[in-house]
A and B are shown apart, each in its own frame.
Chain A
Amino acid sequence: MLLNTRALLPAVCAIFAAAVPVHAQEPKGTLVFAVETLAAQTLDPILEARPGNAVYQAAMYDSLVGFDLAKGGVGPGVAESWEMSEDGLTWTFKIRPGQKWHNGDPVTAHDVKFSLERFMSPASLAAAAATMRRSMKSIEVADDLTLKIHTHHPQVGLPASLSRAVAPEGSVMPKTYIEQVGVEEYRKKPVGSGPWKFVRSVPGDRLEFEAVDHPHWRGRPKFKNLHILLIPEEATRIAMVRTGEAAIASISPETIRGAERGGLRVVSVPATMQAVFQFWGTWRPEMKDSPLAKVRVRQALSLAIDRKLVIEHVMSGKANVPRPYSTFAYSEDLSVDRWKKWSEENFRYDPELAKKILAEEGYPNGFELKFANTALPGTQFMVAVGTAIADMWQKIGIKVTTKHYEWGGFPPLVRAKDQAQLTGWASMYRAVGRPEAFWRYNAAFSPESGERLFGDPETCDAACKKYVELYRSVINERDRTKRTQFNDAMIEHVANSWLSIPVIEGMGYYAVNTEQVGQFDPIPGRHELGDVFERIPQPGDKPWSK
């Protein structure tokens, strides 16, 4: 057979071109990242909560389901594809071939099964352990690269729940290694399959990783070493980036302008959360005559908020006008464009209309409103957002009495059987960025939930029952088109109730020393950089594009 050299030429060139950059792009130097907390600082995923997993464990561990890097939300991970069975009771995950642990062993479906079972074990501190145990009937290894998860009921959100875009419970651990060396030794010398391998952990100070010396599906790191430093004080973190002691540091919105004045580039991660305010116990009999029990009054309170002003002055211009409660541009099974338009119209600033509505509802001179201002961990700026909106309500005649709560003291009030201390109050709250909206909706609006904004099981009125019906339709519907319709209907029902109202779509912020690292983009909705480190280029190199 004659070789067609003309046809071969491009291939030869491609191989040559590919070989040269690989040599030229050998990892070098150290990428130093300063962060406010290392949480539990353990490399055993079953002992760490979501933020710690996302900050540093993600560097060395892969997750069964990963990210859609461009849009945010769910995408391929250790599993390159997954599908639900006809009866909806089995999810089959196809494991990406050729993956290996840092000790050289291959990554197989046995590791994934072992990991999921470890997350559900009594020793696990995983947030979703009980839910996983309840929903998963059994886990079956069909072959080395095929895993089947059998569930008691159809679980449309199962792949997303095993994605690092949502939770740490999809992290995959090395079965053979852990069984060989034991758990204690594994915790001292952890082995993962991510693009960074463990070097050292100095408690309360830092974690050190080294780039793997082989290609990785997440991308081969551009730096030889990765050091993640625990620097609790924000001013110190910024100082370290300015002096070059660190290349990147997490910062809050309050310091964005100062960091920029100091010559640093600020990278913001879009759509990591929503700061919302919500009304408690409006469905209780004693609230019958309260202004807050009226939907139009609640809507008026939303119209009184100048979201753009909050974004400009509290968030240093680095936040967005939100979409409906707990929905984002990357939300799954949702008519995202429709809701973007809806938000632009309904989250507008119109204090005159707000006053008019109040007058029509019988409150021409406003009314007294008790407002609990609080901030969830990691989003301290919510207090400033709360203070700003309380001021805006005052301007339309509402007499606001604000009480500040340190976050630790707030959840007990929410969980209290009768919510006595919150009924009739408005408060700040938060909706974290999740690709599937229904988890957060369940936590806020289900009669069995802690927040139970529509009502509890005993007093679930028509609006509450309609929500429950729509929610069940969403979680049970396997056809994506129909699920989108149900999702839209659920979101519309909640949006029109004006019970939990987004103020801003918040972001994650990082100060970057451009002499230390090149240009990179974060993953939308993913506050932490644990899955981005390997993509961060050397200074002067081509920016990372998704």
Chain B
Amino acid sequence: MGRFIVRRLLQGVVLLVLVTAIVFVLGRMTGSPVDLMLPEDATAEDRERLIRTLNLDGPVHTQFLTFVGNALHGDFGTSIRMRQPTLDVFMSRLPNTLAIIPWALLFAMSVGIPLGVVAAINRGRFLDRASGTVAVLGIATPSFWLGIVLIFIFAVELRWLPSGRMGGPEHYILPVITLGTFLTAGFMRLTRSSMLDVMESEYVKLARIKGLSETVVIWKHCLRNALIPVLTLWGVFVGNLITGAIVTETVFAWPGVGRLTYEAVIYRDFPLLQAVIILKAVLILSVNLVVDILYAYVDPRIRYS
């Protein structure tokens, strides 16, 4: 088990180095923050001065090595735009994203899993096809479009809910639905296929032979076992939510790390962009590592493969 964890950690480190290098180089290929900070009639002298002030002078590889050296000591640099340590900026926004993710997961599971069960027990029939349609729509509907449509219906026309921003419970409803809809389809499809496997198993047949009601067989015996692979994909889904929150947070003016990423890109705030992407990668790797460890703990074949 120890070797398994060490191997996973080493893979994670390699991945982080790659992510860092890619973000560092790609970010700089898209232009300079100085061009966004200066007016069109700024002089070359003012431009040079600002480049020096922001430590954007010098070759890219030197800047990269400096960044990596500092990052190893926990210093991810200072945001060009906000002039604050990027780690502080990220940590100040992370709670806002984490506040919405559990609800989006809960929404996706509470809709997707029952739909998956219904689809499985009605395999090939209307309800199965209807659930499949819901799943396809969930995956195919762009978050920005869904978010704006929900705002138009529930905020502008019906005046039931606020248009956006963080606030009381009513502020969570539309962003949670928007963020969770994409995952609903994933949960539904996975639950359906897992349920179909389980429903053919010997212990389910035994349960039926014992005379248990179909409701108990399906919702207690089948679903319990069918949920094991669903729950192991939790890590992937949490990762999707952390990265996928960019659009939802932008549409609903939610001040989380998703929108922070968007702002870092728009302003070419390289240190912030690097920090946000790397810290998100660390988060996703950590969640996946925990899931892998748990899965390996549950299923020894994983450890030895």
What residues of chain A have their CB less than 8 Å away from a CB belonging to chain B? 39-42, 47, 49-50, 122, 124-125, 127-131, 134, 167, 202-205, 229-233, 235-236, 239-240, 242-243, 245, 262, 376-377, 406-412, 429-432, 434, 439-440, 442-443, 448-450
Contact code string B37-57 (vs A, CB < 8 Å = 1, else 0): 111111111101110011000
Q: What A residues does B46 contact at CB under 8 A?
A: 127-131
CA distance A30 to B251 in the complex (A): 24
**Which of B101-109, B161-169, B186-194 is the interface stretch?**
B161-169
For the complex with contacts A205-B165, A236-B253, A440-B41, 11 further pairs of A-B residues with Cβ separation under 8 Å are A42-B83, A125-B37, A129-B49, A205-B255, A232-B253, A243-B163, A407-B36, A409-B31, A411-B31, A442-B43, A448-B44
Total A-B residue contacts, Cβ distance less than 8 Å:
142
Are A376 and B40 in contact, with the CB atoms below 8 A? Answer: yes
A439 in contact with B41 given A203-B89, A235-B148, A408-B30 (CB within 8 Å): yes
Are A236 and B164 in contact, with the CB atoms below 8 A? Answer: yes
CA distance A424 to B5 in the complex (A): 59
Q: What B residues does A429 contact at CB under 8 A?
A: 40
Of all A-B residue pairs in the complex, the 9 with the closest CB atoms, nearest first, are: A408-B31, A204-B255, A443-B41, A130-B49, A239-B163, A411-B35, A231-B253, A439-B41, A205-B255
**Which of B117-125, B149-157, B196-204 is the interface stretch?**
B149-157
Most buried by A among B36, B43, B81, B260: B43
CA distance A73 to B48 in the complex (A): 29
7 contacts between A and B (CB under 8 A): A47-B83, A124-B53, A127-B39, A127-B46, A127-B50, A130-B49, A243-B155
B138 CB to nearest A CB, Å: 21
Q: What B residues does A240 contact at CB under 8 A?
A: 163-164
Q: What A residues does B151 contact at CB under 8 A?
A: 235-236, 239
Are A127 and B38 in contact, with the CB atoms below 8 A? Answer: yes
Within 8 Å by CB of A236, from B40, B89, B148, B166, lies: B148
Closest to B34 in A: A411
B291 CB to nearest A CB, Å: 30
A232 in contact with B41 given A125-B50, A240-B163, A243-B156 (CB within 8 Å): no
B32 within 8 A of A: yes
Closest to B89 in A: A203
Q: What A residues does B260 contact at CB under 8 A?
A: 204
Are B41 and A233 in contact, with the CB atoms below 8 A? Answer: no
Closest to B151 in A: A239
B182 within 8 A of A: no
Are A431 and B40 in contact, with the CB atoms below 8 A? Answer: yes
Are B53 and A406 in contact, with the CB atoms below 8 A? Answer: no
B11 within 8 A of A: no
Are A125 and B53 in contact, with the CB atoms below 8 A? Answer: yes
Q: What A residues does B44 contact at CB under 8 A?
A: 448-450
A511 CB to nearest B CB, Å: 13
A432 in contact with B250 given A130-B49, A203-B255, A239-B152 (CB within 8 Å): no
A236 in contact with B162 given A127-B42, A243-B155 (CB within 8 Å): no
CA distance A95 to B212 in the complex (A): 90
Most buried by A among B148, B152, B253: B253
A236 in contact with B37 given A40-B83, A125-B50, A203-B92 (CB within 8 Å): no
Are A377 and B36 in contact, with the CB atoms below 8 A? Answer: yes
Contact code string B52-85 (vs A, CB < 8 Å = 1, else 0): 0110000000000000000000000000011100
Are B81 and A229 in contact, with the CB atoms below 8 A? Answer: no
CA distance A430 to B40 in the complex (A): 8
Closest to B164 in A: A236
Closest to A124 in B: B53
Q: What A residues does B43 contact at CB under 8 A?
A: 130-131, 442-443
Closest to A239 in B: B163
Closest to A245 in B: B163
B129 within 8 A of A: no
CA distance A130 to B53 in the complex (A): 11
Q: What A residues does B159 contact at CB under 8 A?
A: 243
Within 8 Å by CB of A229, from B49, B82, B253, B263, lies: B253
A130 in contact with B39 given A202-B255, A204-B260, A236-B252 (CB within 8 Å): no
Are A230 and B253 in contact, with the CB atoms below 8 A? Answer: yes
Are B253 and A440 in contact, with the CB atoms below 8 A? Answer: no
Q: What A residues does B32 contact at CB under 8 A?
A: 408, 411-412
Are A434 and B41 in contact, with the CB atoms below 8 A? Answer: yes
CA distance A243 to B155 in the complex (A): 7
Most buried by B among A202, A204, A409: A204
A381 CB to nearest B CB, Å: 17
Within 8 Å by CB of A233, from B152, B155, B250, lies: B250
A242 in contact with B156 given A129-B46, A131-B43, A204-B93 (CB within 8 Å): yes
Are B259 and A442 in contact, with the CB atoms below 8 A? Answer: no
Q: What B residues does A235 contact at CB under 8 A?
A: 148, 151-152, 251
Closest to A377 in B: B36
CA distance A124 to B44 in the complex (A): 17
B268 within 8 A of A: yes
B262 within 8 A of A: yes
Most buried by B among A129, A233, A432: A233
B204 CB to nearest A CB, Å: 48
Closest to A206 in B: B165
CA distance A221 to B35 in the complex (A): 35
CA distance A124 to B260 in the complex (A): 24
Q: What A residues does B148 contact at CB under 8 A?
A: 233, 235-236
CA distance A50 to B37 in the complex (A): 8
CA distance A129 to B51 in the complex (A): 12
Are B31 and A39 in contact, with the CB atoms below 8 A? Answer: no
CA distance A270 to B148 in the complex (A): 30
A373 CB to nearest B CB, Å: 16
Are A407 and B31 in contact, with the CB atoms below 8 A? Answer: yes
Are A50 and B255 in contact, with the CB atoms below 8 A? Answer: no
A524 CB to nearest B CB, Å: 19
Q: What A residues does B162 contact at CB under 8 A?
A: 243, 245
Q: What B residues does A41 contact at CB under 8 A?
A: 82
